[in-house]
Amino acid sequence: SGSHGGNGISRAAPLEALLFDIDGTMCVSDPFHHRAFSELLQNLGYNGGAPITPEFGMAHMAGRSNEQIGRFLFPDWPQARLDAFFAEKEALFARYAGEGLREVPGLAELCRWARERGLKRAAVTNAPRANAELMIGILGLADFFQLVVAGEDCGEGRSKPCPDPYLRALDLLGASAERSLVFEDSVVGVQAGVAAGMPVVAVASESREAKVVAAGASMVVRDYRDAELWAALEAAAGAPKIDSEPSAVDAKL
């Protein structure tokens, strides 16, 4: 892993908010999306009936909204047919994810740290809201996030890589871009966070590191156990809130 752009995380001090993408960033969900898409596309005889490869999925589907994926896969389909296809795909995904969705290692510890520090927290995703809430629930983080912004909340054509989903989250959280940090895994997601004016930590394999760095990531980690990430977070956050001055409420007790 490594820092790029002089560790942009430090410029977010004092840290106020953490914004997380979900798919691939908080959980290893791509295999389940891939399995669902692959089965449905094979049934349709897409690609001559040959299964799509994981590389095809990463290149054309990962991090993108269903609207974007639909336009790519079936440019001539009417909306009603696309809606039916994606409803079936999300139902399959929910079944597979329910059987085996896992967190990216170290996520629970990072979430506990953010809560102790009193940081504001949002999930920002191109996934449909129902899908987003399903994954957050499986991860046991339903009460961790103060809000979830889904691509569909931002209007036609305004999901990531547009900055709109992140700007909306900042607005609803009452947080400033200068004091916030984004966690992402896809190129479109990194582009969105950077366009919204925030430093971005990319969770990416070695093979994808160059791509997310080119998109503007300040730091690249394999998962949340990265020592350099923790050093940067501690430095940006400063002293923990729980050890701070007693509050007025405590003083009265």
The string of DSSP codes covering the chain is -EE-TTTGGGGGPSP-EEEE--BTTTB--HHHHHHHHHHHHHHTTGGGGPPPPHHHHHHHTTT--HHHHHHHH-TT--HHHHHHHHHHHHHHHHHHHHHH--BPTTHHHHHHHHHHTT-EEEEEESS-HHHHHHHHHHTT-TTT-SEEEEGGGG-TT-STTSSHHHHHHHHHHT--GGGEEEEE-SHHHHHHHHHTT--EEEE--HHHHHHHHHTT-SEEESSTT-HHHHHHHHHHH-S-GGGSPPPHHHHH-
**Active site annotation includes 185:** no
The residue among 7, 1, 5 whose CA lies nearest residue 236 is 7
Q: Which amino acid is at 196?
A: A
Choice among 23, 30, 185, 226 that is catalytic: 23
**Active site annotation includes 250:** no
Choice among 21, 30, 164, 185 that is catalytic: 21
Give the whole-angstrom CA distance, residue 28 versus residue 124.
Answer: 16
Give the whole-angstrom CA distance, residue 151 versus residue 154.
Answer: 6
Q: Provide the annotated active-site residues.
A: 21, 23
